Amino acid sequence: MKTDFIIVGQGLAGTLLTHELIKLGKTVQVIDSPDFQKASAVAAGLINPVVFRRLTKSWLIDELYPQLEDTYVELEALLGNSIYHPKKIRKIFGAGEADFWRKKAVENDLLQYLQIEPDESGYPELKLEHGSGWVEKAGRVDLNNLLTGFREYLLKRKCLHEFNFDYSRLVIHPDRVEYGDLAASKIIFCEGHRASQNPYFQNIQFKHTKGEVFKLKTTGYHADFILNKAFFLMPVGGNEYRMGATYDWNKLDEVPTASAKEELCGKLEQVFGGAYSLTEHAAGIRPTTHDRRPVLGLHPEYPQIGIFNGLGSKGCMLGPYFTKQFVALLIDKSSLINPEVNLTRYS
Ligand SMILES: Cc1cc2nc3c(=O)[nH]c(=O)nc-3n(C[C@H](O)[C@H](O)[C@H](O)COP(=O)(O)OP(=O)(O)OC[C@H]3O[C@@H](n4cnc5c(N)ncnc54)[C@H](O)[C@@H]3O)c2cc1C
């Protein structure tokens, strides 16, 4: 079977890339393992345009935001399910933080993202002794609906192959690659953290991060905003919420731990006095590079092979923008990639 592209991996990266290529009329065959866990299936899907610690804009957010909104709305229409949920973030202030916000909102050009006059309107469960501020242009991407919807879409188009890709079976010709009975002009790897085992990209310095998230149900508390105070509590419908997330650079496995439960429930209970019960606990590995920037590009020796990876903890924001940049390069090799994400930084 001849195709323009083989994509390995149908997490967020592979899904966005495949969608964009199909939109441009390219033929794509996707290989995705049914055995491996996807970070995208664990992720909470939070979109937050600001970095709270220093109160700055998230990297490139002015450029990323329009692209992400357009892409997820477009995918909603294509797949006929609900994916993009704009929601405000309510940041609970510590002592002196309201003044810090007022100062930094102006200094760091954040006025379009922050509502700096605190709104104390009533949630008796929340401990707001120093007030709170609001973040606009935030929200949630329902990655579960996106991934399962897109999988169905690929199955209907007969372009999904569910097995583990074996690197030793890839045959590279000057003008194409072959894998079993598939032949393609290019193969693009979107394997998430498993790219560390990809023999063609051993020079990339990955520094993956384990993360854990929870689902919980509340009694009495109903809020349509995302609560934040060194953790997030995100409404996902009814009285269900997702709570996250932990960061661990050392123990890279996909096993939920008691220490993550203690850490996040402890943070929650410092500011939330309502009744709740945990209903789900999951762990995954965020594919992350040493400089916490995505990595994309074509192999220097074999331009038939490419990689799209390193979406880290902000895949939902970074994915749509850098997919378009990568696809522009795949279609027109003179097209430029932001040097901060270019694979060439590892050569
Ligand atoms: C706990 C946690 C919380 C997170 N929360 C957020 C959040 O709130 N907001 C946000 O933007 N991001 C969040 N992220 C990050 C987000 O999950 C990632 O940025 C993004 O999902 C990475 O997508 P990916 O496609 O690169 O990798 P993955 O989703 O891991 O997909 C990789 C795919 O490749 C396939 N694959 C790998 N090797 C092979 C092979 N040899 N053969 C066949 N298939 C293969 C796998 O089966 C998988 O389907 C979170 C991550 C975690 C772990």
Does residue 134 lie within any of the structural domains? no
Does residue 7 lie within any of the structural domains? yes
Same domain, 217 and 317: no
Q: How far is the CA of 320 from the centre of ligand 1 (A)?
A: 14
Task: Encode pLDDT of 287-331 as tens digits.
Answer: 999 999 999 999 999 999 999 999 999 999 999 999 999 999 999
Answer for the pair 284, 210: CB distance below 8 angstroms, yes or no: yes
Same domain, 332 and 231: no
Does residue 296 lie within any of the structural domains? yes
Question: Of 254, 269, 286, which residue is a domain's last?
Answer: 286
Measure the CA–CA gap between 110 and 332, rounded to whole angstroms: 35
* C-alpha to C-alpha distances, 70 to 15, 204, 226, 250, nearest whole angstrom: 15, 31, 22, 36
Answer for the pair 331, 280: CB distance below 8 angstroms, yes or no: no
The residue whose CB lies within 8 Å of the most ligand 1 atoms, and thus the one to mutate among 15, 36, 42, 241, is 36
Enumerate the H helices of the chain as residue ranges: 12-23, 39-42, 61-79, 97-107, 143-156, 258-271, 315-331
For residue 118, pLDDT over 80 is answered with no
Same domain, 150 and 29: yes
Does residue 306 lie within any of the structural domains? yes
Q: How far is the CA of 192 from the centre of ligand 1 (A)?
A: 5
Q: How far is the CA of 252 from the centre of ligand 1 (A)?
A: 14
Question: Of 262, 286, 310, which residue is a domain's last?
Answer: 286
Task: Encode pLDDT of 179-238 as tens digits.
Answer: 999 999 999 999 999 999 999 999 999 999 999 999 999 998 999 999 999 999 999 999
- 131 pLDDT band (50/70/90 cuts)? confident
- CATH number for the domain harbouring residue 186: 3.50.50.60
Residue 307's nearest CA partner among 206, 211, 209, 207 is 206
- Domain around 325: 2-42+144-204+291-346
Does residue 267 lie within any of the structural domains? yes
Measure the CA–CA gap between 294 and 275, rounded to whole angstroms: 39
Structural domains in the chain (count): 2
Measure the CA–CA gap between 145 and 40, rounded to whole angstroms: 11
Same domain, 148 and 167: yes
- CATH number for the domain harbouring residue 222: 3.30.9.10
Does residue 100 lie within any of the structural domains? no
End-to-end CA distance of the chain: 33
- CB-defined site of ligand 1, < 6 Å: 8-14, 31-33, 36, 38-40, 42-46, 164-165, 190-192, 194, 211-213, 244-245, 284-287, 309, 311-317
Answer for the pair 223, 235: CB distance below 8 angstroms, yes or no: yes
Task: Encode pLDDT of 88-113 as tens digits.
Answer: 999 999 998 989 999 999 999 999 99
Measure the CA–CA gap between 209 and 252, rounded to whole angstroms: 7
The residue whose CB lies within 8 Å of the most ligand 1 atoms, and thus the one to mutate among 18, 37, 38, 210, is 38
Q: How far is the CA of 42 from the centre of ligand 1 (A)?
A: 8
